[in-house]
Amino acid sequence: MQKKLIILLGPTGIGKTELSLNIAEHFGVEILSCDSRQFFKEMKIGTATPTSDQLKRAKHHFIGMLSINDYYSCGKFEVDALKKLSELFEEKGLALMTGGSMLYIDAVCKGIDELPEVDQNLRDSLNERFRTEGIDNMRAELKLLDPEYANLVDPKNHKRIIRALEICLTSGKTYSSIRKEQQKTRPFDIIKIGLEMQREELYARINKRVDNMMEDGLLEEAKSLYPYKEMNALNTVGYKEMFNYLNGTWTLEYAREMIKQNTRHYAKKQLSWFHRDDEINWFHPSQREEIIRLIESKINDGAGKR
C-alpha cells in the first residue's frame, strides 16, 4: 500500500489539537507537530502547546524539543520531519502531521527552495541598511519588487524580508516566482484536511482562548522569558504584547486586547495562504465523522495527493 501522510491544517485557535487526537486515536498513528513555536520547550501557554493529558493520548513529535536559544529553520524541519516520517512509515503506512505554520507545512509537502547564491557584498550592504534605516524602507522596497511575498511575510521579521530582497536583487525575479517554480516529489501520498468556520465564530474562539491563556498564567510565562525578548523565537503573538506591558508601554488590558487582535490578523493571513491550495479538503472542525470517512476513502482508493 502506498504510504500516506494526513495533514490537518487550519488557522490558529480553530481546534486542530483535539481533532488531531481524535484522528490519531482512530487510525492508531503518531502525530508530528508543524507549529513552529511549539518546538520551544519554554513557550507552552502562549503557543497553546498540548497539555500533559493530551500528550498521553497519542505520541507526539516536534513538541518542546528545542530551547529558545537554539537555531532552527524550515530547512532543518524538512530534513528532520522527512527522517521521522520514514521511520514511522516503516512501522505503519500512515502518519499524521498537524499545525498552522504555513512555510513548515510547505517544506514537508514541496521542499525548501533551491535559491541562487547571494553575493556577500550584497548581503552585507542589506544588513547595514537594516542597521541604519530600520525595516520599514526595506519592506517598502520588497513591496515594489515582490508585492505578493511582501503581503505574506511577517512585517517585523527582518531576516525573511532581507532574504527575499537578496533573492530578488540577485536573480532579477520575484522571490514568489522562484518559490513556485520548484517543488520536490515525495515518496508518499498527502491527504490534506483543512479546518475553517465562519469568521465570527473563529474570532470568538480566538478571543476566548486568549482569555484562557491569561487565566492559565501567560503573564507569568512572559515574565520568565522577558530577559530573552530579543530572541527570534519570541517574536511571536502573545509574547510581544506581554513584553510591551512589562516594559511599561501598554496597560495589561490593552496588551490582552492586542493579543486578540493580532491573533485574529494572523488567522486571516493563514486562511488566505491555505485557500490558494486546491488540494485541501475543507471541513468545519465539528465534522469529525465526515473527516474520518474522507481519510478512509483516500486510504482505500489511493486518491491522496503527492
Q: What is the domain partition of the chain in residue ranges?
A: 4-112+182-301, 120-181
Shortest CA distance to 264 belongs to which of 14, 6, 7? 14
Alpha carbon distance 245, 47 (integer Å): 18
Q: What pLDDT is attached to residue 284?
A: 98
Fold of 4-112+182-301: Rossmann fold (3.40.50)
CA distances from 194 to 167, 206, 287 (A): 31, 17, 11
Q: What pLDDT is attached to residue 60?
A: 97
Dihedral angle, C-alpha 217, 219, 221, 227, nearest 10 °: -170
Fold of 120-181: Histone, subunit A (1.10.20)
Q: What is the pTM of this model?
A: 0.81
From the first residue on, what is the mean pLDDT of each consecutive set of 10 residues in the chain (306 residues)?
Answer: 93 98 98 96 97 96 96 91 96 96 93 76 91 92 93 86 92 82 83 98 98 98 97 94 98 98 96 95 98 95 54
Helix (H/G/I), strand (E/B), else coil: 118: coil
Q: What pLDDT is attached to residue 236?
A: 94
Alpha carbon distance 41, 127 (integer Å): 30
| Residue position matching grid coordinates 511575510 | 153
User: How many residues appear in the chain?
Assistant: 306
Q: What pLDDT is attached to residue 178?
A: 76
Alpha carbon distance 104, 106 (integer Å): 5
Number of Cβ within 10 Å of residue 285's Cβ equals 20
Alpha carbon distance 37, 159 (integer Å): 17
Write out the three cell numbers for 195: 479546518
Shortest CA distance to 108 belongs to which of 126, 138, 86? 86
